[in-house]
Structure 1
Amino acid sequence: MAVLVIGEAPTAAIEAVGLRIRPFRPGADEPLPATLTGIDALILSPTATPAALPLVGPALAAEVPVLALGEGARLLAEAAGSGGTGCGATDPLLGGAAAPHGFRVGASAWGLPVPDEADHGVLRRFAELVAGRAETTATRTFFTPRAAAWEERFAYQTPAYEAAVARMRLRPGQRALDLGCGSGRALPALRALVGAAGTVIGVDLTHAMLTAAAREGRGGAAAGLLLADCARLPLPAAAVHGIFAAGLLDHLPHPDAALREWARVTAPGGELLLFHPSGRAERAARHGRAVSPDDPLAEPNLRPALEAAGWHLATYEDAATHFLARAQR
């Protein structure tokens, strides 16, 4: 995990929680990173310059944690187009004495115009927040800049998604989730199964992906769009009858915990369909590697993981053209 520090700022509290400092000093020979890949947070120090602005906008869009101090706070406000909102005493980062002077932009950026108040406590809380969000930040950093072109790039896969959804045993009036829905290719097919009286919700961790789904007309009356972590769903137990998840499980840091969470929100007899429009061997070859025996989608791994989480694997297909596993709660 790395924190990009632009300018001079105290870093002991950051390093104390195991974060690596990646320094950038304005005017030095090294260039500013072109993207946020590999960067878990951004600190704009009092010596930051406008050279940092090309990274601040993308950081705000992807909700990469940002702490801006002194002159850095002015740059943050400039990038956001406003001074942000004031921080109350309960703000997780700038609560207490710093709150009257600090401001917040969105869900993950804070400005503290008076650098003397950027004490060890603020930096420590920021470091803890960064470490706790690292997995979420990496996902959003990857998908946010790709979201606008996602549908155009992968629209050809839509018929495969529709065919996969059609194999779910959902009935009119039931409730369905598409986890990691992206631009929402599966949402119309899920709506067709549950009908106008049913409920369809697309869940994604990246706001830009949900925006892409809405732009394609897959939100609104077609489906609800929910910004959430698929491993911590804001839903009651037994709330849905079917879950569709394409290209998701094997990318999660804790797939066993995710399967348990999906079982929690699924009613008895409900279904889980894991899908990918290409088989495991084809995907591995595309990335220049062999199929790993540790792959959570390999049947010897997937079947016991599903059973331990409360699922029964009913169908398993790992073909050249697709991967599909259908399980029942």
Structure 2
Amino acid sequence: MQIPGSGAPGENPAAGPSPGPAAGPDPAAAPAAAPAVDDLADEVDEMPPMPADEVFQTVAPEPPRAEGSEGSADRPRVRDAMLWVWPLVILVAMVFVSARWSAFGVLVVGILAVAGLTFFTGGMELSNEIRVGVALAAVAALTLVFLGRSAGAIQSSPEPGKPTASGSPAVTGSASAGPAATGPALAEQLRAGPAAGAEVTGARLDGQDLRNVPMPGLSARGASFARAHLEGASLAGGDLAGAVLSGAYLQGANLRGAALAGADLRDADLTGACLAAADLTGALLDRAVFSGAAVDGATADRAATATATGWSTTNSAGTAACRR
């Protein structure tokens, strides 16, 4: 039997009415936020992928280059700023060596300038193989130039003779000297004669045939007679100071009283020649042959005559040459 006002069975009347269920989120409100999350996911999926290089650049940016470094874009390399100096240096060097060593000096300077400019401008960008190749090419070119000079194909001494309108030294001193000429043409004029007192200063007569040609008083200062045939020729009283007579054939030639100071007589053959009263001061006499040559009164450096063969061995042949 239920007592009125006592409530339901098992309930404590003093506790009061039983509280209702706890308030919670409204289940109907949750689906309202879902569309916003889905839209964000769709936008992320639609974004284009970032390139790998940009990813790496973002993660690990390139460190800034130090100011003044070789690769700096706002400051040129020192070697690049000095490039204008090279043409000036090469021009001055070529003018100097051309006046002193003629074509030989110009070629040597040109080869060294090209090799040096290659190394200077290339810097560290050149590989070791290229560096070695450039060096070997320069050495090979220099070797060919020196061989050409030794063979007489490349001129190594200037021609100090006064040029004419044609640029060649003139032969003067005789009415039949003819026009200016060098080499075979000049040798032909000298053979045609008379060549006494002719001037061939600075001329090139290498290897020419002037055997038995009378040329007393010849002015040939600084001229070149390398390997020329002068057997029996008369050069008495001639001015051959500084002339090149290396390897010349002067057997029986008359050089009495000739000025040969500073001349190059290396490997020349003066067997039975007349050198009486000749001036050979400072002349190069290495391996020159003077067997039977008349050298009475000749002036020569003792050290130079020691490198020659047959000095002071006068015989009848040398005496005969002095009478030509």
TM-score, normalising length from structure 2? 0.28
Question: Larger relative CO (CA 8 A, sep 6+): 1 or 2?
Answer: 1
In our comparison, the structure showing a higher alpha carbon Rg is: 2
Which protein is richer in strand relative to its size? Answer: 1
TM-score, normalising length from structure 1? 0.27
